[in-house]
Amino acid sequence: MEEKIAGAEAAQSAGLVAGHIPQQRGESLLGTAVRYTEERHWDVFPGTWLVAVGGVQRCSCGDPRCTAPGAHPVHEGWASLATGSASTARRMWEQQPTASVLLPTGRTFDAVSVPETAGFLALARLERMRSALGPVILTPERRMQFFVLPGTSVKLPDLVRKLGWSPDSLDLAALGEGAYVVAPPTRCGSRAVQWACRPTPANRWLPDVGELVPPLAYACGRDR
């Protein structure tokens, strides 16, 4: 059963957690990957997966000290595997149905990563401001990843400086070309990646990073 996200009441009240993409209860990773390509036009690629070793879930990479068990690329050439074709995605997950669902950034979207506590504070403020908001991921590492238009890596440092902060002083990071996010309902070790704000028809059009940086920077400053 899908886990309840503590602290997401602000997002729920804004209608951001409602929607039909993805239907996480009982939906296969294959089905989810295909839906991302068909309904959001996102590129996807399969990553590692969890295997049972002596009754313990381990990463398929074989490293007992893996820091992202079951939720990272299989090899360095992952970018060439990413596809926006539903039929290709289906074939890839048919080969390994339990593979994680990974989404490359820097193509149809970038992501801004902040600590979970700062993310929920920013969500509440954005809801009060009635600001445009795209999908938002909540990771098992207690971080939130806000989807924005591509080009974030270039813009973010200057935007933060204009607000009076040094980019290095805030736990605020851009995920752009060459990076990826782990998509729900992938499991990373014992915990699942979740949507704090699900993809819906209402948030198909993503905000520019400039619209989110002020509340995100403020929240990260409070969270230091």
C-beta of residue 98 within 8 angstroms of C-beta of residue 62: no
Per-residue pLDDT reduced to its tens digit, 47-68: 999 998 888 889 999 999 999 9
C-beta of residue 220 within 8 angstroms of C-beta of residue 170: yes
pLDDT of 18 above 90: no
Task: Say which residue the tokens 């993805």 belong to.
Answer: 22
Q: Is the Cα dihedral 135, 136, 139, 141 positive or negative? A: positive
Per-residue pLDDT reduced to its tens digit, 179-220: 999 999 999 998 999 999 999 999 999 999 999 999 999 999
Residue 94 corresponds to which tokens in the numbers above?
Answer: 């048919």
What's the angle, vertex CA 155, arms to CA 151 and CA 159, rounded to 5? Answer: 150
DSSP state of 206: P
Q: Give the pTM.
A: 0.88
Query: Which pLDDT belongs to residue 163?
Result: 94
pLDDT of 19 above 50: no
The torsion of the CA quartet 24, 57, 95, 67, rounded to 10 degrees, works out to: 90
User: Cα–Cα distances in Å, from 129 out to 10, 125, 138, 216?
Assistant: 12, 6, 22, 13
Helix (H) or strand (E) holding 212: helix 209-222
Query: Which pLDDT belongs to residue 53?
Result: 85
